[in-house]
Structure 1
């Protein structure tokens, strides 16, 4: 990057970092480094599920379904995303988990702020 513009392909660029494209974990000084927001292009095989619940969350998140089907599990309900463009937003204090549907699923996640120390294990087999 020399001109303040970064062009890429989300599925390729995010593959080395569990889909994460932008956030505090990118090299400082790079355009993709941010302490304010994180962006992920998540590609999930059929039946993929989170290995552990995210608890004690202090950030806000937006998840948009691009392709497939995705369930966001909250403590008091499960949100079913079935049509491209379906989305859910949850705030601080919302424990959550997720599971992909029976086809390859793609979701776009935006979280803010971007904070170190919140990485969970990869999804369960």
Structure 2
């Protein structure tokens, strides 16, 4: 019989091995930090702290959206659909992730927005993990932490992104 991945086996290990391991559940841990499981915003010394990469377990109810476009992106992003139906809007193009495992990658400078067409779970990996960078909050007020945990005030980013209504160009390519 296999042990549950969340049940620790009784093994003898040194202190470093015990302090450099974190075991959790994405849905539970993500709820406490706006979906983010790993990145620069986790406390120093926490094995989930990283300056190199950010990982998010995004749970989006049907109709959830980023109405304001993210512009001037400084990172590369990979989104993988776990469940649901999730649309990513790009300049001049709309991409629908419709089947488990569908994914999209975009690089630096690609403006984007998104919409959950159905209740969706999306795994997001972004790199690098950039401190003091965030997408605009839905109200685009002066404290814009968009989709990352709050870590201080910063100016909001503005812009609607070119091709905002690029409907009809849907597909996986």
Q: TM-score normalised to the size of structure 2? A: 0.67
The reply to whether residue 114 of structure 1 matches residue 115 of structure 2 is no
| Residue pairs, 1:40-119, within 5 angstroms | 40-101=56-117, 103-119=118-134
Is residue 67–residue 114 contact of structure 2 (8 Å, CA) maintained in 1? no
Q: How many residues align?
A: 122
Q: CA deviation at 1:58?
A: 1.4
Q: Which runs of 4+ in 1 moved over 3 A?
A: none
CA distance in 2: counterparts of 1:25 and 1:3, whole angstroms: 19
CA distance in 2: counterparts of 1:89 and 1:116, whole angstroms: 21
Is residue 90–residue 111 contact of structure 2 (8 Å, CA) maintained in 1? yes
CA distance in 2: counterparts of 1:34 and 1:106, whole angstroms: 23
- Aligned with 2:18: secondary structure? coil
Q: CA deviation at 1:47?
A: 0.7
Structure 2: gaps spanning 5 or more residues: 1-16, 139-145, 147-173
Structure 1: gaps spanning 5 or more residues: none
- Aligned with 2:27: secondary structure? helix
Q: CA deviation at 1:119?
A: 2.3
**Which is greater in Rg?**
2
Bigger fraction of residues in strand: 1
Q: TM-score normalised to the size of structure 1? A: 0.92
